[in-house]
Structure 1
Amino acid sequence: MTQPLDQICIVMIQTSHPGNIGSAARAMKTMGIHDLRLVNPTRFHSPETKALASGADDILEQARLCSSLQAALADCHYVIGTSARSERSLPWPQMDARECGQWVAEHLPQQKIALVFGRERTGLTNEELEHCQALVHIPMAFDFFSLNIAAAIQIICYECMMATRQIQASKPPEVTSAKGLEEPATTAAMESFFIHLEQALVEVEYLDPDNPRLLMRRLRRLFGRINPTQSEVNILRGILSAFQGRKFIRRSSADQINVRNT
């Protein structure tokens, strides 16, 4: 039987120190989370990784190695990125660790939720943040902003576990059932939609590909807040296809007029 925490996955991007992967696996297992996904780690299979896992070998053995963040997130419905900065030029929905745990618990097990952790020194890039619907940060002492990535994973996983336990204990079984609820669209489906949307916006000359500014990034934020279902994404893509078809017809008609006038 699937447990709510089985719907959480931890994604680590380009981890440079193999010991951090082992420590992260240990942190996950103590909190009952088992789905680890590694995007292009510098080193993975090393004695230090296994030593610091301290018995969480099953998580390391089942860890999914991915060549891109998109591949790691393909089956997820909601993506939360970790960030040490609470302010950015283009705002994302912000949560602290406790708020994140509460949000995750309230949406389990209906959604597959990814918690994404960036590089030890530089975190997530702006391009990687575009795949996140929200950001989470861990409040720290104002004179010391340094937290080991495995420790950060431990804190976030702990908050998710505690909030989930509280919610499960307070709800009758029929309330926690996900039957009859439509799942949100997966990240893979949303990425296909964004490609289609950008293509359509370029075709109707609303988006200048040579000077896109932040339009697509803002649209990602918009649809990230909406968190549409798969059927809603299908409707949106159907609308885009209809607009593209009409544009083609209009151009064809204009070409016919030009031919008649020559």
Structure 2
Amino acid sequence: MYKMFLTIMLVATLNAEVTDGVAVVVKGSAITLYDIKKEMQTSRVDAKTATDVLIRKTLEKQEIQERKLSVSSGEVYDDIKQTAKRNNLSVNEFYEAVRNSSGLSSTELKEKIKEKLLSQKLYSSIAYSGLSEPTDEEIEAYYKSHKDSFAHPSGFKVIIYQSKNKQILQEKIDNPMFHSSEITSNEQALPYDRISPELASLLERTALNTFTDAVPDGKGGYMSFYIKEVESAKETGLESVRNQIMNMIAAEQREQVLGDYFARLRHNADIKMIRNVK
């Protein structure tokens, strides 16, 4: 019996080593088979792409450490406050909205924002010298070749359902025929140019004759938008999106510089491929 127990434990240990075994070593930092499989599931990519992504992330983390870049808790909180303010929410309401939409706790959200801010600092330190401001000709050419991406609905006709009780509101979303005295509603026309970018994005992602998810209303309750009508698309003029285009061109330039930088870094780095994911 004792020998059988040892055999079972040995098999379990070997299986764990296969599952969690090191697949790649990047300048002394290990990437396991588990890491790669998790990235494949999360990003829905194949093993090679997942491995490439993780190698790049590992090189980025090492660069952050070598350049002694850091992000304070105050910087993280400022970013959260600004995002909450853009959505007319308190910080606590914003935490709840994120938890409801993505399942992230406030601690997990802070960690993701810290990673984002660290990446921005790294990108700035690497790409700054390689970026140039786009010319008027480049901006106009970019606008003409991406016109469709700058078209948007002129507005939305919606019914806004509100309730202090989120569960009751969710029942309405799940069953449109449901009625409750705890739910109020009012019909509104929302011009695209007068609503926040976040709300515009939410409404654009929602199919006609369906409800958005329940979101905090900024007054201690919740609301959901029922999309009755999407008013015809409106093509924006160049001047109204000039700053947006400049940011998009800069982002593309930055990614090109970064891609080249990390490609050279990877080429020269000590990277050992131990085993492949099957």
TM range, smaller chain: under 0.3
Task: Give the TM-score taking structure 2 as reference length.
Answer: 0.21
Q: Of the two structures, which has the highest relative contact order with CA contacts closer than 8 Å and spacing of 6 or more?
A: 2
Structure index of larger Rg = 2
Higher helix share: 2
Higher strand share: 2
Task: Give the TM-score taking structure 1 as reference length.
Answer: 0.22
